[in-house]
Amino acid sequence: MTIANPGIRETTLSRADAAAYLGVSISTLARWASKNEGPPYYVVGAKARYRYPDLDQFIETKRHCG
């Protein structure tokens, strides 16, 4: 298979890397996923994969101004 424009492909993160990026434990991220409370993710094979834009958007939804 040939990718027409490889620059379009986005990097995805493992659950461990996404947890580190968010500053939470892997088990917290897994618990959020089981309750549909955390950032969106994709399942590739049997593994959860996260995208930076989704993690950044999740962080913004937790922002408190005050």
Q: What is the pLDDT of residues 7-22, one digit of tens each?
A: 445 689 999 999 999 9
Name the pTM for this structure: 0.80
**What pLDDT score does 1 carry?**
47
Residues listed for the chain: 66
CA-based nearest residue to 55, from 35, 27, 25, 29 = 29
Does residue 52 have a pLDDT over 80? yes
Identify the CATH assignment for 11-61 out of 1.10.4080.10, 3.40.50.1820, 3.40.50.12780, 1.10.1660.10.
Answer: 1.10.1660.10
Across 26-46, average pLDDT: 95
Q: How confident is the model at residue 43 (pLDDT cuts 50, 70, 90)?
A: very high
